[in-house]
A and B are shown apart, each in its own frame.
Chain A
Amino acid sequence: MIRCIRHTAAFSFLLLVALLVNAARVQVVETERYGANPANRRVPIARYEKPRGAVLVEGSPVTGSRDSGGRLRYERTYTDGPLYAPVTGFSSQTYGTSLLERAEDGILSGVDDRLTAFPWWDRLTRTHRRGGDVHTTINARMQRAAFAGLGGKKGAVAAVEPRTGRILTLVSTPSYEPGVLSGNGAAVDEAWRGLNGAARRPMLNRALQETYPPGSTFKVVTAAAALESGRVTDIDARTDAPDPYTLPGTATRLGNAAKDCEDAPLRYAFRASCNTVFARLGAELGLRTMAATARRFGFNDDRLRIPSPVAPSTFDTRMDRAQLALSAIGQYDTAATPLQMAMVAAVVANGGQLAPPYLVDKVTDAGGVMVAAGPHRPTRQVVGPATAQQLQELMIDVVEHGSGRRAALKGVTVGGKTGTAQHGVRNEGMPYAWFISWAREKDGYEPAVAVAVVVEDAAADRADISGGGSAAPIARAVMAEAVRQGPGR
C-alpha cells in the first residue's frame, strides 16, 4: 500500500508540474500575444487609466483630461478646441486619434519607451507610465489672428518661420470641437456621424490634408525655374510673349485678365499676374525643368511628416506641352496644400533655402524633463541666393504696386503673390482665393514669417474672390502679429 501511496503522490506532483508549466505558458510565453489581442479590453483600459499627456502652445496646455468615472477612466478635453483642432486633432475612446494626437500618441499615452530610463522594469512590474507632454511650435496670437481673419469662411492658413521651418500657424475653417468625440457612448457616435456628414466638412484639415489648385501663386515656382535655368536673366527685360497665347499643339487661346501683358518683362508680368507670359515660360522651360523645380520646392513628396502626415502637393510629370503651360500657371493638375505654398514663400524669404516644416518643438515627460527635441532636419538649397533675391524683388513689387497692396504693413518689408484658382468642370466652380507672402523688418535681414492663405467661400461674390481681396488681409493680420513679436519668437 505504501508503494501505491507514493505512486499517487508522484501522480499529484505531475499534476502540479502540468499546472505550473501551463501557468508559465499563459503568463510568460503568451503574455504579449494575449495582451495585444484586439478583444482584450485591458489595452484601452490601461490607455485611459491615467490622464493623457498635454499638447502645449507656448508652454500652456491646450488639452486636458477629465475623469469620466467609467471603466475607460480619463477622457480628453480641449481648452480651445476649434482654434487648435487642426493642430491637435482629436483623441477619442471610440474613434481613435488624428493629427498630432495620433502622431505623438506613444508619448501622450505613455507607452513610448523614451519616457523612462528602464523600460524593462515597467514591463516587469506592469506599470503604466504617465504620458509625456508635446510642446508645439504654434504661436498663439498668430493662430488667433488667422482664425479670426477667416471667420465664418471656408479656408485655411499656414505660416512657418522661414529660417527654421517651425510651423507658427495652422488654421482650418470651419473647425469643430474635438472634445465632443473624446468619450464613448451614444452622444459621441451621434457627434461623429454629424461631423462626418456635415456639408462643410469641419473635420477636414484644409491646411494639411486638402490640396487646391494654387493658381497664380504657383507663378513664384515658374519664375524661380525661369531665373534658375537662365531662361530669364533680367527681370526687367522684355519677354516677347504674345497676348493671347495659343497653347502649343492646340488651337486654344489663353488670354489675360490683366492689360499690357504682350511682351511684358517678368517684373510686370508677375505684378499683373500675366497668364500668357508664365504659361509660355513654362512650356519653353520644358517638363523636366519645371517638374524638377517643383519637386525641390516640395511638390510630389508624399513622405512629409510634421509629424502628422501632410497630403502630397502635386505637379504632374507626364503632360503634353499645352498641359504643361497650364500647369505653370497653377492650373490643370497642379495642386498644393496651404502648408506647401507657405513653404514656397519661405524658400524665397530664406535666400533660397528650405527648412523642412515641423510642428513639435520638444517632447517632455510628465515631470517636465526633456525627452526629445524637434526634428531639426537639414535645410536644403532649392534655388540660388541670387534667384531668391530676384524673387523677393518680384514679390515685394506685388505688395507695393500690385494686387497684394492690402497685405502691406507699415515699416515692414512684405513680399506676396495673389492667386485666383479656377476649378471644376469648365471652371464653373467658385474660384479659390490664394495669397502667399513673407515679411521681415524693414532694415532686418532675417525673415520673420512666411504665410499661405486660401479662402474657398462659395457664398462670396465671384468678383470679390481674389487673392488680393479676401486672402491678403488675413495674411497681413498674421504677419503683423509675427513682426510685432519679432523673428524667432
Chain B
Amino acid sequence: MTATAGAAATARPADTPPPLPLLPRRRGVELALLVGAVLISVCGYAVVGLATHHALPGGAVRYGAGLGGLALLAHLAVRLRAPYADPLLLPTAVLLNGLGLVLIFRLDLETPGDHAAPTQLMWSTVGVTLFIAVVLLLGDHRVLQRYAYVCAALALLLMAAPILFPAVNGAKIWVRVAGFSIQPGEFAKVLITVFFAAYLAANHTALAHVGRRVMGLQLPAGRVLGPIVAIWLISVAVLVLERDLGTSLLFFGVFVVLLYVATGRTGWIAVGLLLAGVGAAAVGTLEPHVHSRVEDWQHPFAGIAEGRGPGQLAQSLFAFAAGGMLGTGLGQGHSALIGFAMKSDFILATFGEELGLAGLTALFLLYALLVARGYRAALGLDDPFGSLLGVGLAVLPALQVFVIAGGVMGLIPLTGMAMPFLAQGGSSVVTNWIIIALLVRLSDRARTPRPATPAPADRRRPAPPPTAPAQGAGR
C-alpha cells in the first residue's frame, strides 16, 4: 500500500507543499478480503453438501460464481466512486451475506417443500445492485440532508402500508405484491435514521442549549423538540398497531442514541431509559402477546413441565447448548427441531449449534467490526449530519443484533427481528446493503485526504473526478 501513497505523491505537481499524511486507499486489501469472504462462503456451501450427502452440492460452482460476481461488481463500484472507502465494510458484508446463504441452503435440506436459498440469492442480488446504485449515484451524503422531511414522510407511508394487508403470524408488517412479500418497515429504518440525523444536525445547538432546567435536567424548548417527538410517536403508534415490537424498540434506541450524540446531554439517556422502562413494563403486562414473551423468557422450560413440550425458545436454547465449544459441524445439527421461523428469526440457533461458541464468537466479532467501522467513519467526518448518520447506521445493526441474538439466546425477552444479512428475508437483506452503501459513502468521505488549507487544485469534493486518480497504483 505504500506504493499507493508514493504514486499519489508523485502525481502531484512538484511545487505544491507536502500534503498531510495520506491514508492509503486499501482497495487491494478489500479485493483480497473479498476473495477470502467468497471462498469461506463457498467452502461452507461445500461442507454442507459433503456432510449431508457426502458429495459436493450441485450448485456450488454457480453459487460461488454468483456471489463472487456480485462481490466483484460491488468492489468495482467502490473502486470507481469511493476509492477511499473503508476496506473492511464490503468484505464483512459479503461474508455475512454468504454465510446467511449457506445457512439457508443448509436449512432448505430440512424443508424439502420450501427452498428459500434461491430467493435469498435473488434478493441479495437486488441488494448489491442497490448498493452499487447508491455508491455510484450518491456522490455526497450531504445531499440526503435536503430530503429529510421527504424521508420522514416516505418512512411513515411505508410503515403504514401493511395496515391495509392481512396479518401474518400475528404481525401486520407484510405487503404482498406480485407473489413477493415485502416488509416495508425494514426500509423505513434507514429513512427514519436519515431523518433523525438530518433534523438533529440542524437543531442540535438549540436542543442542547435552549430550554428550561427542570430537576437538574436541561429540557429543550417545545418548538424544537415538537416535530421529532411527533414523528417518533407516530412511528411507534404504527408499530404497536402492527404488533411489531422489535422494530419500535429499534427506532426508540436509535432515537435516544442520536439525541444523546447530538446534544451531549446524559439527561436524554436518563429520560430515554425511563420512557423505555415505563413503556416496556406497560406493554409487557397489558399486551398479551408481549406478556407471553416475557413469561417465556423468565421460564423457557415451563412448557415442558406443563406437558406441552418444549417451546421455541427452549428448542433454540437446546440448539445452542448442543453446539458447545466447537459445534456439530455444518449440516450435522438438529436446529430444525425449532420448526417455524428457523430460517429467519431463529437462524442464529443453527449457526450456534453447527459452528459452536467459536463460530458464534467469530460472527459477533464480524458484526462488531461492521459497527466499529461505522463509528470510525462517524468520527472521521467533520459535518454533524454525516457523523450523526454514521452513528445511526452503526447503532441500527448493533441494536438489531443485540435484540435478536439476545432474544433467541435467552438474554432478553424475544422480539421478532431479522439477524442482519444472515436471516431469510428479502427486505432485510436489501436494507442492510443500503446501510453498507451509505457507510461506504460516509467512510470514503471521512478518509479522503483533505489539505490543511483548501486549495482549488486539491478539491475532490463536492465534484469528484469521473475516475478515481491513480487508479492503477492501488493494485
Query: Bound complex: CA of A126 vs CA of B323, how far in Å?
Result: 8
Whether the Cβ atoms of B361 and A20 lie closer than 8 Å is yes
- The closest CB in chain B to the CB of A126 belongs to B328
With a CB–CB cut-off of 8 A, which chain A residues contact B395?
Answer: 8, 12
| Contact among B301, B327, B360 with A39 in the assembled complex (CB-CB below 8 Å) | B301
Q: Is A425 an interface residue (CB 8 A)?
A: no
Q: Which one of A1, A24, A38, A39 lies within 8 Å of B357 (CB-CB)?
A: A24
Instruction: Tell me, yes or no, whether A301 is within 8 Å of chain B by CB.
Output: no
Chain A residues with Cβ below 8 Å from B367 are 16
Q: Are A27 and B324 within 8 A (Cβ)?
A: yes
Of the listed stretches A29-37, A216-224, A381-389, name the one at the interface; the rest are far from the partner chain.
A29-37
Q: Which residues of A contact B357 (CB under 8 A)?
A: 23-24, 27-28
Instruction: Verify B321–A26 contact, CB threshold 8 A.
Output: yes
The verdict on A369 contacting chain B, using a C-beta distance below 8 Å, is no
Instruction: State how many angstroms separate the Cβ of B30 from the closest Cβ of chain A.
Output: 23
Instruction: Report yes or no: B264 in contact with A12, Cβ–Cβ below 8 A.
Output: no
B257 part of interface (Cβ distance < 8 Å): yes
CB–CB A8/B411 < 8 A: no
Tell me how many residue pairs across A and B have CB atoms closer than 8 Å. 133
Q: CA–CA, A158 to B58, complex, Å?
A: 58
Instruction: Please name all residues of chain B whose beta carbon is closer than 8 Å to the beta carbon of A8 when the two chains form the complex.
Output: 257, 260-261, 375, 391, 395
Residue A19 at the chain B interface, CB threshold 8 Å: yes
Contacts of A123 in B (CB 8 A): 324
- Residue from B264, B326, B379, B411 within 8 A of A22 (CB atoms): B411
Interface majority SS on A: helix, strand, loop or mixed?
helix
CA distance A5 to B401 in the complex (A): 19
Q: Find out whether the CB atom of A18 lies under 8 angstroms from the CB atom of B406.
A: yes
A1 & B264 in contact (Cβ 8 Å cutoff): yes
**A4 / chain B contacts, CB cutoff of 8 Å:** 260-261, 264
Inter-chain contact A23/B409, CB cutoff 8 Å: yes
Contact assessment for B261 and A1 in the assembled complex, using a CB-CB cutoff below 8 Å: yes
**Given A24-B357, A37-B318, do A19 and B260 touch, yes or no (CB 8 Å)?**
no
Asked if B233 CB lies within 8 Å of chain A CBs, one says no
Query: Which residues of B does A touch, CB under 8 Å?
Result: 257, 260-262, 264, 301, 304, 309-310, 314, 317-318, 320-329, 334, 337, 352, 356-357, 360-361, 364-365, 367-368, 371-372, 375, 378-379, 384, 387, 391, 394-395, 398-399, 401-402, 405-406, 409-411
B399 contacts across to A, CB distance below 8 A: 15
CB distance from B397 to the nearest CB of A (A): 10
Q: Cβ of A26: which chain B residues have Cβ within 8 Å of it?
A: 317, 320-321, 352, 409-410
Among the listed A11, A23, A34, which residue makes an inter-chain contact with B318, where contact means beta carbons less than 8 Å apart?
A34
Q: Is the CB of A37 within 8 A of B364?
A: no
Q: Which of B262, B318, B325 has the most CB of A within 10 A?
A: B318
Any chain B CB within 8 A of the CB of A231? no
Interface of B is mostly: helix
Q: What are 24 sample pairs from A and B whose C-beta atoms fall under 8 A apart?
A: A1-B384, A5-B378, A8-B257, A12-B371, A18-B406, A18-B411, A19-B364, A19-B401, A19-B402, A19-B406, A19-B409, A22-B409, A23-B357, A23-B364, A26-B321, A26-B352, A27-B320, A37-B310, A38-B304, A39-B309, A39-B310, A40-B318, A124-B324, A125-B326
Contacts of A5 in B (CB 8 A): 261, 375, 378-379, 387, 391
**Residue in B closest to A3 when the chains form the complex, CB atoms:** B264
B257 proximity list for chain A (CB < 8 A): 8, 11
A37 CB to closest chain B CB (Å) equals: 7
A207 to B202, CA, bound (A): 92
A67 to nearest B CB, angstroms? Answer: 14
- The answer to the question of A41 belonging to the interface, with a C-beta cut-off of 8 Å to chain B, is yes
Bound Cα distance A182, B260 (Å): 64
Query: Which of B325, B391, B398 makes the CB contact (< 8 A) with A27?
Result: B325
Q: Does A319 contact B (CB under 8 A)?
A: no
Whether B324 contacts A19 by the Cβ 8 Å rule is no
- Residues in A whose Cβ lies below 8 Å from that of B304: 37-39
A27-B325, A37-B318 given; A20·B261 CB < 8 A: no
Query: A9, A12, A27 — which one has the most chain B CB atoms within 10 A of its CB?
Result: A27
- Are A39 and B314 in contact (CB-based, < 8 A)? yes
CA gap between A441 and B243 in the complex, in Å: 88
Question: Do the beta carbons of A45 and B334 come within 8 Å of each other?
Answer: yes
Contact with B along A43-58 (1 / 0, CB 8 A): 0010000000000000
